[in-house]
Structure 1
Amino acid sequence: MSSLFRALAAAALVLAAGLAGATTTITVATFPDLDRAARAALPRWHAAHPDVDVKIVSLQYADHHTAMTTALATGSGLPDVMAIDFKFIGKFAGSRGFEDLNKPPYDAGALRGQFVGYTFTQATNAAGELAALPADIGPGTLLYRADLIAKAGLSEADLTKSWDSFIAAGVKLKSATGANLLADSADIVDIVLRSDLAPGDGIYFDHAGKVLVDGPRFVHAFELGRAAHKAGIDAGTTIWTNEWVAGFRSSKIAGAMMGAWLAGHLKNWLAPDTAGKWRAAPLPAGANASYGGSFYAIPRRAAHKPEAWAFVRFMTADKETQLASLRTLDTFPSLLAAQQDPIIDEPMAFLGGQKARELWRDIAARVPAIPVDKYDSMATDVVRAEYQNVISQGKDIRVALADAKSLIEHRARR
């Protein structure tokens, strides 16, 4: 064999070895704490997909969604997989900047029965395109300090049987302990707005896109929120602020109505020293609502769509990945098979040994499927601003809602 032939053969072997070991790298854009779930899943991912590396790019919640809005608009800096919070799913799905997962080669409609029913409705835009798959959900729940409730001579039933009873219990709690039953009376508004919707209607827009915010549901929500504020049962603090955190740690805030994920935040960083003192209950007055949740989507201009789809399925439709996320973040799984795992029936030490996940599973099964609109996020901000005008400036409720409707119609061009 000539030296030239040997050299060429050796080069061919090196090239073949290099090609055999070649890997594709996909980029996943996400935000805290969802990024922890993705990182925790990587060892199992790499074992199943040794030829696909994952680069996780995480920005703070608001920065991430702002950056992704810009990326979708410009086509620059797009990831292969994009994490989306529930608050933005309507806006992002409505942008039509994502792969329609209902279509081949994804055919995600075949997976629908494996997930909590309302999640696919949340991720579907007006054109019927499925923009994302759900990673976790937020069944609405009332979390309360059982020790302070008992000290005030109250029971869980006093908190849940009606909104009037809830407010009256808050007054008694404040008198007996100095604690507020709520951080912000706007929490009541958020829950009531998600209750008793007409079939086919969204929170802010009906099935034809008409703005609903001056209707009786909004009037009732604002009236209840204002009544709670006037009764002095809320601390007047905004979610995620330092004052909000301090309220839980100092036992000045004794309740919260949010997604089940808040229990994990209380345990892991908000108020770990209050372990064993909290309990979970259904929302007052029989309300069933979804509060938060996370999704994964594939931008239409993604560079590695087959690999991205494999990762999306891995994070959402894989039972073990969903359970690992539950163990890591105390999230609640969107996958029904994960909800049937024995871990759901385990007592939760932070909640005094309560089997709260069983309650949340039952709530999730009753949450109605509410359509989303690409202007939901904007409408949320407008309505909340007008509610603040009601409680801080004494603005008439019907005038506030009329102004909100006018502004939303203008911004949404409807």
Structure 2
Amino acid sequence: MTDRILINRRAWLAGVAVPALPGLIVVPALAQTREVLTIAAFPLMDEIARAAIPAWQAMHPDVELRILMRQYTDHHTAMTTALSTAVGLPDVMALESSFVGRFAQGGGLEDLRQPPFGIEAFRPRIVPYAYDQAIARGGAVVAMPADIGPGTLLYRQDILDRAGVVAKELTRSWDDYVAAGERIKARTGAYLIANVQEIKDILIADGLRPGEGVYFDTDSRVLVNTPRFERAFEVALRARRKGLDAKVQAWSNDWGAGFKQGRLATELSGAWLVGQLHAFVAPETKGLWRAASLPGGSLVPYGGTFYAIARRSAPARKRLAWRFIQLMTMDPHRQLQAFKNYDAFPALRDVQDDPFFSEPVSFLGGQRARLLWRDDALRITAQPVHKQNKFAEEVVQTELDKVLRGQKTIRTALADAEQLLQRRAKR
């Protein structure tokens, strides 16, 4: 979804799932090799790649697989520098979805349509929106999807039961979602959501037309002073005025405590959050949660991971780099294991008919939620990323904060955001 969500998620995961070591970790595959293939990754992606070492050794016993791991922000900063200077380029780089669009515009990534890659032959096997996210303005396909994050509504069934609310009241429309939140708050004391910014994040990204990104279109026209943003601000403001959010940020200590203590009735996030709730955030709430599609039929992605090859990386190893990417993304066994072990929802459609998708999810009270996420993922459309997206996100976030504090009207806030972004887009 947004950079803010993704960075906080990766930073938090890095703190609980891997050692907090500075610099990078080198994982050698073989002591004696004739050639080395270097993979640059960040937390969790490095573990998924490490798990593939035996399969890689069987395919290429004479090629060492060397995995370089940096924390999320450090990794993407290092890749930005490497692409601009051509110094320290890995053979393969893992990228969070928001960075694929930014890097594509710089022309530093290989067009995987070209020989020896031929990514277009694999397009029918990939979730459509994930493939489309890697298409640059000129038509180049600059990265291969590995995993995706279909958006979902998670709700506490026990809290809804106490409030006399049924799930369809949360999902029929965003107005119904807020109205159900009022009843939940009045009858149980639980907040509907951690922060109304999460509502805004979904509604500004929902219902995009062809050629539209969240903040800019393909001609860099600013899109924030539009009915789509007005609606997002209106729903968020209404929920805040009714006292329905706890005013805490995702991945903060207060956010985690809200789940553990039953003070948050719902959460809007990616399907991967179920695994994080189960493993780290609130394992004691197992069996109390259920999943549903987002309110009002909204369909948005929450992140995802890609593999890319730098245009100026070592030419002699590009074929090997492509073989590694195919192993990680086109091998159904590898994709399924990454899903089972790391909650990396597969971008490969071949996997999505596996019986695992129909199995009950114990954390969700036995609900077969993976089928729901699979079907929603196939209906999501790609969100083109503009080079100023990060700045635009910060501007819109700030303007909504001013609206929520009563410092500006919605129309004034959006007009001010539009003016600032128009100046920035011309740079």
TM over 0.5: same fold? Answer: yes
Query: Residues 61, 240 of structure 1: CA spacing in aligned structure 2 closer, same or farther, 3 A cutoff?
Result: farther
Q: Indicate conservation of the 8 Å contact 2:98/2:385, yes or no.
A: no
Q: 1:337 aligns with which of 347, 350, 369?
A: 350
Deviations 1:172-213 (A, max 9, x none): 212222222211111111111121222222221223221111
Query: Residues 312, 187 of structure 1: CA spacing in aligned structure 2 closer, same or farther, 3 A cutoff?
Result: same
Query: Residues 147, 23 of structure 1: CA spacing in aligned structure 2 closer, same or farther, 3 A cutoff?
Result: farther
Q: How does 1:385-404 map to 2 (within 5 A)?
A: 385-404=398-417
Deviations 1:59-96 (A, max 9, x none): 22222222222222222222211111122222122221
What is the rounded CA distance, in whole Å, between the counterparts of 2:343 and 2:137 in structure 1? 32
Q: 1:56 aligns with which of 62, 67, 71?
A: 67
Larger radius of gyration: 1
Cross-structure match for 1:360: 373
Deviations 1:118-141 (A, max 9, x none): 112111111211110111111111
Q: How does 1:77-156 map to 2 (within 5 A)?
A: 77-156=88-167
Query: Residues 380, 89 of structure 1: CA spacing in aligned structure 2 closer, same or farther, 3 A cutoff?
Result: farther
What is the rounded CA distance, in whole Å, between the counterparts of 2:325 and 2:386 in structure 1? 23
What is the rounded CA distance, in whole Å, between the counterparts of 1:78 and 1:247 in structure 2? 42
Q: Indicate conservation of the 8 Å contact 1:98/1:131, yes or no.
A: yes
| Structure 1 unaligned regions, length at least 5 | 1-20
Cross-structure match for 1:291: 302
**Is residue 40 of structure 1 aligned with residue 51 of structure 2?**
yes
Deviations 1:3-47 (A, max 9, x none): xxxxxxxxxxxxxxxxxx633222222222222222222222222
What is the rounded CA distance, in whole Å, between the counterparts of 1:115 and 1:196 in structure 2? 22
Q: Deviation of residue 361 (structure 1)?
A: 0.8
Query: Residues 393, 34 of structure 1: CA spacing in aligned structure 2 closer, same or farther, 3 A cutoff?
Result: farther
Q: 2:335 aligns with which of 322, 325, 333?
A: 322
C-alpha RMSD of the superposition? 1.6
Cross-structure match for 1:4: none
One-letter amino acid of the structure 1 residue matched with residue 323 of structure 2: A
Q: Indicate conservation of the 8 Å contact 1:126/1:373, yes or no.
A: no
SS of corresponding position for 2:291:
strand
SS of corresponding position for 1:54:
strand
Q: Deviation of residue 56 (structure 1)?
A: 1.8
**Is residue 378 of structure 1 aligned with residue 391 of structure 2?**
yes
Q: Deviation of residue 146 (structure 1)?
A: 0.9
Cross-structure match for 1:13: none
One-letter amino acid of the structure 1 residue matched with residue 149 of structure 2: G
What is the rounded CA distance, in whole Å, between the counterparts of 1:105 and 1:350 in structure 2? 44
One-letter amino acid of the structure 1 residue matched with residue 320 of structure 2: E
One-letter amino acid of the structure 2 residue matched with residue 215 of structure 1: T
- Higher deviation after alignment, 229-238 or 357-366: 229-238
Q: Deviation of residue 393 (structure 1)?
A: 4.8
**Is residue 176 of structure 1 aligned with residue 187 of structure 2?**
yes
Q: Deviation of residue 305 (structure 1)?
A: 1.6
**Percentage identity across paired residues of the two chains:** 49
Q: Indicate conservation of the 8 Å contact 2:34/2:63, yes or no.
A: yes
One-letter amino acid of the structure 2 residue matched with residue 235 of structure 1: A
What is the rounded CA distance, in whole Å, between the counterparts of 2:105 and 2:399 in structure 1? 25
SS of corresponding position for 1:366:
coil
What is the rounded CA distance, in whole Å, between the counterparts of 2:405 and 2:40 in structure 1? 38
Query: Residues 230, 311 of structure 1: CA spacing in aligned structure 2 closer, same or farther, 3 A cutoff?
Result: same
What is the rounded CA distance, in whole Å, between the counterparts of 2:395 and 2:134 in structure 1? 22
**Is residue 221 of structure 1 aligned with residue 232 of structure 2?**
yes
Q: Indicate conservation of the 8 Å contact 2:190/2:265, yes or no.
A: yes
SS of corresponding position for 2:374:
helix
Q: 2:214 aligns with which of 199, 203, 213?
A: 203
Q: Deviation of residue 358 (structure 1)?
A: 0.3
Q: 2:257 aligns with which of 246, 253, 259?
A: 246
Cross-structure match for 2:28: none
Cross-structure match for 1:259: 270
Q: Deviation of residue 338 (structure 1)?
A: 0.7
**Is residue 160 of structure 1 aligned with residue 171 of structure 2?**
yes
Q: Deviation of residue 360 (structure 1)?
A: 0.5
Query: Residues 250, 61 of structure 1: CA spacing in aligned structure 2 closer, same or farther, 3 A cutoff?
Result: farther
What is the rounded CA distance, in whole Å, between the counterparts of 1:160 and 1:320 in structure 2? 34
Q: Deviation of residue 327 (structure 1)?
A: 0.8
Deviations 1:192-238 (A, max 9, x none): 11212222222212232211111110111111111111111111111
SS of corresponding position for 1:83:
strand
Deviations 1:147-185 (A, max 9, x none): 111111111011101111111111221222222221111
- Higher deviation after alignment, 327-336 or 366-375: 366-375
Query: Residues 273, 97 of structure 1: CA spacing in aligned structure 2 closer, same or farther, 3 A cutoff?
Result: same
- Higher deviation after alignment, 66-75 or 108-117: 66-75
One-letter amino acid of the structure 1 residue matched with residue 403 of structure 2: V
What is the rounded CA distance, in whole Å, between the counterparts of 2:62 and 2:395 in structure 1? 47
